[in-house]
Amino acid sequence: MSSSDDPNLRPATKLVQGGRRPEWTGDPRLGGSVVNPPVWRASTILYDNIADLKARGHATHDKLYYGRRGTPTVWALADALTDLEPGAEGTLLYPSGVAAISAGLLALLSPGDHLLMVDSAYEPTRSFCNGMLARFGVTTTYYDPSIGAGIADLITPETKLIFLESPGSLTFEMQDVPAIVARARARGVTTMLDNTWATPLLFPALALGVDVTAMSLTKYVGGHSDAMMGALTATKVLWPRLRHATYQLGLSVSPDDCALMLRGLRTLDVRLARHGENGLAVANWLAGRSEVGRVLHPALPGDPGHAIWARDFTGTSGLFGFTLKDADDAGRTRFIDALSAFGIGFSWGGYESLVVPSNPAEIRTAVAWTDTDSLVRLSVGLEHSADLIADLERGFAAMAG
């Protein structure tokens, strides 16, 4: 199913070669091929005759059938993402990361089922569980992100799915994914993990036994803050079920957006390396400031999740948090408003740095968030880290003043 013939290629090479099957980039009648799969826009697909139309009714997912089932631009992106996850059978694309997560949960859960959801999950993921899933008769139990092998005690005969997000994208707790996956497997429970922070480049989740990964491509894969999309990548066992549900829900993506995502994907390796390096420079500087309570970054040696990060991850991205010691909301606001290199805005993973305030105490239910210092989240971009640090220094001056 993948476009690369050699499964041993390294991720940086796969990023360059992925999705560029000859039938998607060239036509022998034109005498050559183009580098990037062109944008194939389509609703209607024309058939040669009725026999052709009838035969195509049973088409596989990578043959032209009807626009909603995709065109080569869409398949090229899906294929390139599948290539990045050793052990993956296929990838499905969705209009946003939230749509990917919601569709995955809907596809894998039925009325009467029980879901174990990590307490540090992205808030709209929780909202889907508490809203639509609850309405459809699925019960959710939130669990402590640090639970590890203790997850076994929460599994009931009705538990069908354990959802993970590591690190949590607001509070950055690391999860012991192999320990949780082992307990899930032993009890026949499926695992699904939001891998947006790390991408498969830094954390090959399927290779570590996770069954389905969700990713918001809006973040690091797109990388330029100008398009939204999400993906589910799954093992051979679950892929047909997810594909069927996605077709039933009528979820499809624009080939123009896929072309933007493919463009972002080609440079993901170099961008992530720079995001990670810049993020660490800023995080280390913040750790030495008297105004800062703690820096929430698993790649820092003092972080509670550092050992797990060092064991399972091959690098870091540029998203992390820190607390402002003794600062109230007004102090945090003065700090953030004084920044100019950091834009104030949601999302992350784009080339430009962003900052948002966050309030985890309002969200958590399994384990109370007891840190009373205000929390700030930074998405560190590709600027020079010295300019970012100078900007933060101005923020601290404004906070004091």
Q: Which residues in 95-217 belong to E strands, given as ranges?
A: 114-118, 139-143, 159-165, 190-194, 212-216
Distance of CA 115 to the CA centre of its chain: 20
Residue 341: C-alpha distances to residues 322, 390, 397 (Å): 17, 9, 15
Q: Which residues in 227-318 belong to E strands, given as ranges?
A: 230-234, 292-296
Catalytic choice (69, 160, 183, 219): 219
Q: Which of residues 92, 98, 105, 227 is near ligand PLP by CB under 6 A?
A: 98
Site mask for ligand PLP (CB under 6 A), range 202-221, x = bound:
--------------x-x---
* Residue 358 binds ligand PLP (CB under 6 A): no
Site mask for ligand PLP (CB under 6 A), range 122-151, x = bound:
x-----------------------------
What is the residue-wise DSSP string for 319-344? EEEEEETT--HHHHHHHHHT-SSSEE
Smallest CA-to-CA distance from 104 within 120, 125, 122 is with: 125
Active site annotation includes 194: yes
Active site annotation includes 68: yes
Catalytic choice (94, 122, 143, 220): 122
* Residue 92 binds ligand PLP (CB under 6 A): no
Active site annotation includes 63: no
Q: Which of residues 79, 194, 312, 391 is near ligand PLP by CB under 6 A?
A: 194
Residue 363: CB atoms within 10 Å: 18
Tell me which stretch binds ligand PLP (CB under 6 A): 13-21, 52-60, 92-100, 305-313: 92-100
Closest approach of Cβ 331 to ligand PLP, in Å? 25
The residues, ordered by sequence, that sit 6+ positions from 301 with a Cβ below 8 Å of its Cβ are none
Residue 207: C-alpha distances to residues 80, 154, 201, 290, 311 (Å): 17, 25, 12, 41, 14
Q: Which of residues 210, 212, 228, 296 is near ligand PLP by CB under 6 A?
A: 228
* Residue 115 binds ligand PLP (CB under 6 A): no
Longest pairwise C-alpha distance within the chain: 77
Site mask for ligand PLP (CB under 6 A), range 292-321, x = bound:
------------------------------
| Token pair 């959710």 in the structure block, residue | 140
The answer to whether residues 240 and 61 touch, using CB atoms and an 8 Å cutoff, is no
Subset of 234-273 contacting ligand PLP (CB under 6 A): none
The answer to whether residues 176 and 165 touch, using CB atoms and an 8 Å cutoff, is no
Closest approach of Cβ 46 to ligand PLP, in Å? 33
Tell me which stretch binds ligand PLP (CB under 6 A): 91-99, 178-186, 301-309, 373-381: 91-99
**Active-site residues: which are they?**
68, 122, 194, 219
What is the contact surface with ligand PLP in residues (CB under 6 A)? 96-98, 122, 165, 169, 194, 196, 216, 218, 228, 230, 347
